[in-house]
Homo-oligomer: A and B are copies of this chain.
Amino acid sequence: MLRHLLRPNEAKIVFLILDGLGGIRNSEFPQTALEAANTPNLDALAGEGLCGRSMPISNGITPGSGPAHFALFGYDPLAPENDVGRGVLEVTGSGYDLEAMDIAIRGNFATVNADRVLTDRRAGRIPHEECIRLCTKLGSTIQSIDGVQIIIMPVREYRFGVVLRGKGLSPEVEETDPQLTGKKPLDPVATSPEAERTAGIIAQFITRANEALADEKKANTVLMRGISRRPAIEPLQERTGLTPAAIASYPLYRGVARLCGMELIDTGFSVEEEIETLRSAYNKGYDFFFVHIKKADSYGEDGNIEGKIKVIEEVDRHIPSILELSPEVIIVTGDHSTPCALKLHSWHPVPFLVRSNVCGMDATVAFNETECDKGALGVFPARKIMELALANAGKLKKHGA
């Protein structure tokens, strides 16, 4: 990012991300979900704007959700400092701001039998209310261990977050989740001498959690995963001059957004609720709105093309209420492809569209993979999207005389 070119103004950018948007065609799936979906409003935007294909990382490199979003926000998805642990993402995504030396852990509530062998790594996917009750129970009995403060917070369903705050801690501790039922949970093992004390504290935490949960039917133990520390990430405000807000309902995406400096806006889980949240927050001083729609990815991973089509069509129906806000720039794309044909994240570049008063027009008349292949933007790195967004919003000066 060329910080000396920044020229903040009032223009607003709506950055609409359909997770796992891209698809591929093959003999079994002669159309992608985006091709099959009826999307008159997105097609009109494509007709008025510019299209192309956004490459999350590089040809052949399949991104996880974290790196894919860092790329969307303009950060190098391969830089080690942007390789953020799941513990940090979940804790940050639950709205908790980590301090620099904190250790963040993602916890699973899980079920063990009388021999302490795992029978369910997710405690029967207990509801979120149960998660809140259990976290309160743990939090009231475990407040510190060996002088280190313990902060416990619900994340979602069977998932919770733990923060260790104190001196002399290290994240170099292995996970305790054996990844399979029928096995006993692992011990937290230090992978460096500096982490011995932290491993001991985590082991004590597990012992005390087991005691506190002994009378629970489902959630009678905990698995500790993604033990990590917050990386130093330059906030978007400084890199871009934007005042960014995130409207995302899933913890991981909220976590990435928060780590990049975005304000997290509370929102419901449905597309309708998220768009309503955008409308309410629109005039509250922000000029960049990351709106994250999760379900396109979930259906892609299930190979459920009807489901993916439905989500895309639902988003399309809400485009007019976004346009009513008259954002200067609207961008629609995904963080990566999740083709129903593959049921997995993939490396294939993602359909992309931008519409503004200054974007120009290309020959594309619809928003889908085949049309975007004809787009004037070509195949380009996702990392460049933020610069394109800023330019379309008039927020970048000329470089050089």
CB within 8 Å of B: which residues of A?
2, 5, 24-26, 53, 57-68, 77-78, 83, 86, 89, 226, 252, 339, 341-342, 344-349, 357-363, 369-370, 373-380, 384-392, 396-401
| Neighbour of A25 across the interface among B2, B60, B357, B361, CB < 8 A | B361
Q: Which residues of B contact A62 (CB under 8 A)?
A: 391, 396-399
| Neighbour of A60 across the interface among B61, B361, B392, CB < 8 A | B392
Given A26-B357, A391-B347, verify A63-B398 contact (CB < 8 Å): yes
A34 to chain B, nearest CB (A): 13
List 25 A-B pairs, Cβ < 8 Å. A24-B360, A53-B378, A59-B387, A59-B388, A60-B389, A60-B391, A61-B387, A61-B399, A62-B397, A63-B398, A64-B398, A64-B399, A77-B400, A78-B399, A83-B400, A341-B358, A345-B398, A347-B388, A347-B396, A348-B360, A360-B369, A362-B370, A373-B376, A377-B379, A379-B379
CB-based contact B400/A66 at 8 Å: yes
A242 to chain B, nearest CB (A): 13
A169 to chain B, nearest CB (A): 22
CB-nearest residue of chain B to A389: B60
A268 to chain B, nearest CB (A): 25
Q: Which residues of B contact A5 (CB under 8 A)?
A: 61
**CA A360 – CA B337 in complex, angstroms?**
12
